[in-house]
Structure 1
Amino acid sequence: MNTFLRRNPLLVIVLAQLFGTSLWFSINGVWLSLSHELGLTEVDLGRLTLAVQAGFISGTLTLAVTGLADRFGASRIFAVASLVGALSNGVFVLVANDPASAFLFRFITGLCLAGIYPLGMKMVIAWTPKYAGSALAWLVGMLTLGTALPHLMRGATPGMPWEWPLWGASLLALLGGGLIYLLGDGPHLPTSRGAIPLQQGLAALRVSRFRAVAGGYFGHMWELYAFWTLVPLLVGRELARMEGGETLIPWFSFAIIGIGGIGCFVGGWLSRGRGSEWVAGWALRVSGTMCLVYPLLSGWSPALLVLLLLVWGVAVVTDSPQFSALASAAAPRESVGSSLAVMNAVGFGLTLPAIWLTSGLWGQFGVWVVLLLVPGPVLGLWSLRRAG
C-alpha cells in the first residue's frame, strides 16, 4: 500500500486535498435548507463563512509564528488537522441552531484547514519540485472541486436531511488525512530543527519579487472567496428569473465553482510553456472583466448570465496555483512553509472585508455588489507587472 502511494504522490496529495477541503464550504452547500429550517439569512451565511476564513487566518499565523510548517512533518500536521476538522464539522450539525456555538465550530474548522491547504502546497513542492506550477495547479484544482463538492452532495440528496452532506464531508476529510499519513513527507525540502519565528516568514516580503507576487495574490484573494460565497445567491437570482426550481441551485453552484478546477488544470499545462506569470495575468484580466460587465448585463437573458458565471468560475481561480508556484520559487528556501503561511494569512485576511461587504449588502443592492470585487483584479495585475 505504502509503495503504491509513494509511487503516485501527486495523486494521493490532490485526492486528500479534495477530501479535506470539502469541509470549507460544507454549510454553503446546504444553505437553502438552513435558511428554510433554521431561518438563517444571507447575513448569517456571510457570518459563518467569515468564521471559517478567520479560523484559517489564525491557523496560518500560528504556523508562521511557531514555525510548525517547517519544524514538523507536513504529513503529520495534515493528518491531525483533517481529524480535528472532521470532528468540528460534525459537531456543527448538533449546534447549528445556536449562533455562538455554530460560529465557534466553523472557526475551528477553518483553523484546521490551515493544516490542510498550506501544508498540501508544501508537500507538493517536496514531492514534485520540478513541475511545481503544474503540480500546484492540480492541488488548487482539487481545492476548487473540494469547495464545490458540498453543493454536489446536496444536489444529489434532495429532500433528505441537510445533515447528511455535512457528515459526508467529515468522512471524506478523515479519509484524506489517513492517505496523507500513510504517504509521509517528500524528500526535496529540508526539515528545520530550530524554531522559525514569524520574522523569517515575513522576511520573504523583503524580497522584491516575492513581494510583487504576493501583491498579485492579495488582489486575487479579494475577489475569489467573495465570489464563491455569492455563487448560490447569483444562481438563485437567475433561476428565479427562469422560473426554475430551488433544487437546481446546488447543481448550478457546483458547476460554476467546480469548473474552476478545469481552469487550474489547463492553466497548469499552459504554465509549462507560457510561464506562470502569463497564466496568472490572463486569468486576472478575464475575471476582472466579469466583475465589471456582469452587473451591467444583469437585465439580459438568464441563460447568458449563467454562461458568464461559468466563464467567471474558470477565470477566478486559474491564477491561484500560479501565484503559489511563483511565491514558492521566490521565497527563501529554508522558510518556504512559513513564507507561504504568511502570504496565505494576509491573503485570506483580505477575504474577510470582501465577504462581509458583498454578503451584507446583497439584500440592498443585489447583483451590483460584485462591483466591489473590481479592485482585486486591478491590484493583482498592477502588482504582477512589477514582478516581471
Structure 2
Amino acid sequence: MAPISSRSALILIVIAQFLGTSLWFAGNAAAPELEFILGQKDLVPLITSMVQLGFVAGTFLYAFFSIPDRFAPSDVFFFSAILAAVSNLVLLIMPLQLTWVIGSRFLTGFFLAGIYPVGMKIASDYFEKGLGSALGFLVGALVLGTGFPFFLKAFEVAISWKVLLFSTSGLAIGSGVLVGFGIPNGPYRKINPKLDFGLLPSFAKNPRLKGAAGGYFGHMWELYTFWAFLPVLILFLTQGKIEGSTQAFWTFSIIAAGGVSCAVGGLFSVKKGSEKVALVSLLGSGFCALILLIAPEIPSPVVFPFLLVWGIWVTADSPQFSTLVAQSVQPEHRGTALTLVNCLGFGLTIVSIQTAGFLSDFLQVKVYLGLLAIGPFMGLLIYRYFKKKKV
C-alpha cells in the first residue's frame, strides 16, 4: 500500500471512526420498539451495559495479547469492523429473543474494541507532534457516531429497528474498508513483535500513566451514564412536554455538541497543552452535574442550553486524557496502553450505569445523575496525586 500524508490518514480515520462507532448506541435507539415486541421494560440500561461489557472483554483480550502493537493496526481495525457489523446484524438473522438481543450487543461491543482504541493507535503512528489535536478530531467522530442513531430517530420518517441495525452495520463495514485498504502503517509506528505478559503489570509502576488513567476513569464514570439516561433526563426536565422525535433530536444535538468540543479542545491543546484542556473540561462537567443535583429546578428556557453546555464539557477531556496516556509510555506500547485504559474505563461505565439504574427506583433522575459529579472530582484528585509522584 502506497504511503499517505498524516493529514490524509487523519481524514480517513475520522470518517471511519464516525461510521464504525455508529454501532454503539444502535441498540439504544431501537430499544423502544424492541421493548414493545419482546414485552420487556427498561431495556436501555441492560442493552447499554451489554455493549460496555463486551467492549471491556474485547479490550482486555486485545491488550493482554498486545494485538494493536503486534499486528498491523489497519488490519486489526478492518477485521474488527466487519465482525462488529455482523454481530449487530444477528438480530435480523436469528429469532428475536431477549437472549439474542443481549448476545448481539455484547459481541458488537467486543469487536468495537478493535475500532475505537485501535483508531487512536493509528493516529499516534502518524502524529509525533500534535497528537492531542488529532485525537480531538478522532474522538469527536466517535461521539458523532454514537449519537447518529438518535439523529435517524429524530425524523418522523418510519425508520424501523431493522432498518436502523442494517444501516449502522453497513456504515461499519464501510469504515473497515476505508481503514483496511486506505491507511498503511504510519511513519512513527514502532512494532512490538513479542508477546510480553509482564507488560501490563509494568504499567502499574508508571505514575504518569496512572495519573492520566485516573483522570480518564473519572471522566468515564460520568460520560456514558449521562448519555444513556439523557432521553429520560430531557423528559423529566421538560416535564414530558416534548414529543419523541424532538426528544431524539435534543439527544443527538447534545451528544453531537460534545463531538464538536472534542475537536475544538484538540485545537486548544496545541497551544495550551492536553493537560490543561483535560482538567478544565473535567472540572466543567463536574460542576454541571453538581448544578443539576443542588438546583431546585432548571427553568424551562434554560433546560436545553444547560444540557448543551454539559454535553460540551462531558466529552472534551476524553481525547486529551488519551493523549496523556499515549505520551506516558514507549511508542511500541501505546496501542496496548490505550486499549487497557479503555478497558478499565469502560468497565467503570458498567458499574456507573447499573448504579444509576438501581437508584432510579428510589430517586429522581436529577438526583442520581447529579451524583455523577463524584466521578470528575475524584478524577481530578487522582490526577493531581500521581502528578506529584516521580517516575
When normalised by structure 1's length, the TM-score is 0.94
Find the counterpart in structure 1 of residue 188 from structure 2: 188
Find the counterpart in structure 2 of residue 210 from structure 1: 209
Out of 287, 290, 304, the position equivalent to 2:302 is 304
In the TM superposition, residue 339 of structure 1 has moved relative to its aligned partner by: 1.4
What are the equivalent positions in structure 2 for 1:1-388 lying under 5 Å apart?
A: 8-42=8-42, 44-95=43-94, 97-156=96-155, 158-182=157-181, 183-197=183-197, 199-241=198-240, 243-297=241-295, 299-367=297-365, 368-386=367-385, 387=387
**Larger deviation: 220-229 or 295-304?**
295-304
What is the aligned residue count? 385
In the TM superposition, residue 308 of structure 1 has moved relative to its aligned partner by: 1.1
Q: Which string of whole-angstrom CA distances, capped at 9 and with x for unpartnered residues, describes residues 258-289 of structure 1?
A: 11011101111111111111111111111101
| Whole-Å separation in 2 of the counterparts to 1:238 and 1:69 | 43
Alpha-carbon spacing, 1:18–1:96, altered in 2? closer, same or farther (3 Å): farther
Residue 224 of structure 1 aligns to which amino acid in structure 2?
L
Residue 51 of structure 1 aligns to which amino acid in structure 2?
M
Residue 8 of structure 1 aligns to which amino acid in structure 2?
S
Q: Which string of whole-angstrom CA distances, capped at 9 and with x for unpartnered residues, describes residues 7-40 of structure 1?
A: 6100000110000000111111233333344433
Structure 1 gaps of 5+ residues are none
Percent sequence identity over aligned pairs: 36
Alpha-carbon spacing, 1:364–1:306, altered in 2? closer, same or farther (3 Å): farther
| Whole-Å separation in 2 of the counterparts to 1:299 and 1:262 | 28
Q: CA RMSD in A?
A: 1.9
- Given that residues 57 and 111 in structure 1 are in contact (C-alpha distance below 8 angstroms), is that contact kept between their aligned partners in structure 2? yes
Which SS does the other structure have where 2:118 is aligned?
helix
- Given that residues 60 and 340 in structure 2 are in contact (C-alpha distance below 8 angstroms), is that contact kept between their aligned partners in structure 1? yes
> Greater share of helix residues, 1 or 2?
1
- Given that residues 48 and 106 in structure 1 are in contact (C-alpha distance below 8 angstroms), is that contact kept between their aligned partners in structure 2? yes
Residue 252 of structure 1 aligns to which amino acid in structure 2?
W
In the TM superposition, residue 253 of structure 1 has moved relative to its aligned partner by: 0.6
| Whole-Å separation in 2 of the counterparts to 1:15 and 1:347 | 24
Alpha-carbon spacing, 1:7–1:281, altered in 2? closer, same or farther (3 Å): closer
Q: Which string of whole-angstrom CA distances, capped at 9 and with x for unpartnered residues, describes residues 107-156 of structure 1?
A: 10001000001100100000122110000011110111011011001223
Q: Which string of whole-angstrom CA distances, capped at 9 and with x for unpartnered residues, describes residues 225-259 of structure 1?
A: 11111111112223444x22122121111001111
- Given that residues 16 and 176 in structure 1 are in contact (C-alpha distance below 8 angstroms), is that contact kept between their aligned partners in structure 2? yes
Which SS does the other structure have where 1:57 is aligned?
helix
- Given that residues 224 and 316 in structure 1 are in contact (C-alpha distance below 8 angstroms), is that contact kept between their aligned partners in structure 2? yes
**Larger deviation: 136-145 or 5-14?**
5-14
| Whole-Å separation in 2 of the counterparts to 1:94 and 1:253 | 29
| Whole-Å separation in 1 of the counterparts to 2:212 and 2:245 | 41
In the TM superposition, residue 298 of structure 1 has moved relative to its aligned partner by: 5.6
In the TM superposition, residue 384 of structure 1 has moved relative to its aligned partner by: 2.3
| Whole-Å separation in 1 of the counterparts to 2:300 and 2:35 | 24
| Whole-Å separation in 2 of the counterparts to 1:121 and 1:33 | 34
When normalised by structure 2's length, the TM-score is 0.93
Alpha-carbon spacing, 1:107–1:298, altered in 2? closer, same or farther (3 Å): farther
Alpha-carbon spacing, 1:4–1:132, altered in 2? closer, same or farther (3 Å): closer
